[in-house]
Structure 1
Amino acid sequence: MRWDLGIEGVGLLAAMSLGFGLIAHLIVGKGVTRWLWLIWAIAYFVAGIAVSELWFGWATEEQLQPNIDGLSFDEVHLVTLAGLGAALIARYVVHRKRRAGHRPGTPVP
């Protein structure tokens, strides 16, 4: 396997990661750590590299279009879909605990 992710591809993935982190933080809402956006962004970035370079790393540039400096752009959107699903589940869990009377910062019994 050859890693062919260039600077432009890494930059695009980093921008997508930061945007996704902020959106996921808005979806989940308050009641969680204020660094949630950064955690989501790092997870998105790592998963994006894994999808682009490991899962679809075998495919040629012609097979994966659009390919932006080695980044399999459309395939990385699989991470977006999975991440949005995870953010919605996290929102449900956080708000369910809040409705049950659990206040943030107190231990869960």
Structure 2
Amino acid sequence: MQWDLGLQGLAVLAAMSLGFGVAAGLLVGRDLAYRMWALGITTVACFGFGILTSEVLFGWATEEDLQPNIDGLSSDEVLLSSLLVTVVVVLVMRYAARRRSVRDQARRRA
């Protein structure tokens, strides 16, 4: 297997990951702490899964097979994997926030 992800591909992947992180931070809820956690978790997860998707899952494909290909980055496939990662992180964070809120309300009543 040949890793052919260049600096421009890494920069595009980092920008896409940060964009999805910001989107997750905006979608996760009102609490600033949850927004920051969602931003960080989503950014790191999207970057990791982006490398995995581009270089491991689709590393065998040629540049003609995968269009658009930005300096070795299979951008369409990475966008799809990042979208899925973002949806999972947002759903898990919203579930955790709701569960914490219910638990806190139960403690106040007791």
TM-score, normalised to structure 2, is 0.81
Going from structure 1 to structure 2, the CA distance change for 1:57 and 1:46 (only over 3 Å counts) comes to same
Consecutive unaligned residues of structure 2, counting only runs of 5 or more, are 106-110
> How far apart are the structure 2 equivalents of 1:85 and 1:48?
15
CA RMSD of aligned residues (A): 2.2
Partner AA of 1:19 in structure 2: G
Does the 8 Å contact 2:20/2:43 carry over to 1?
A: yes
Structure 1 or 2: more helix by fraction: 2
Deviations 1:4-39 (A, max 9, x none): 001100000000111111111111122537343122
Task: Give 1:71 shift.
Answer: 0.2
> How far apart are the structure 2 equivalents of 1:63 and 1:73?
12
In the alignment, which residue of structure 2 is the partner of 1:46?
A: 48
> How far apart are the structure 2 equivalents of 1:12 and 1:24?
18
In the alignment, which residue of structure 2 is the partner of 1:34?
A: 36
Does the 8 Å contact 2:21/2:86 carry over to 1?
A: no
Deviations 1:16-74 (A, max 9, x none): 11111111111112253734312210111010000000000011110000000000000
Q: SS at 2:26's partner residue? A: helix
In the alignment, which residue of structure 1 is the partner of 2:23?
A: 23
> How far apart are the structure 2 equivalents of 1:68 and 1:26?
28
Going from structure 1 to structure 2, the CA distance change for 1:57 and 1:98 (only over 3 Å counts) comes to same
In the alignment, which residue of structure 1 is the partner of 2:80?
A: 78
Query: Identity over aligned residues, as a percent?
Result: 49
Paired residues in the alignment total 104
Does the 8 Å contact 1:52/1:72 carry over to 2?
A: yes
Does the 8 Å contact 1:28/1:94 carry over to 2?
A: no
11-20 or 34-43, which deviates more: 34-43
> Which stretches of structure 1, 4 residues or longer, exceed 4 Å deviation after superposition?
none
In the alignment, which residue of structure 2 is the partner of 1:67?
A: 69
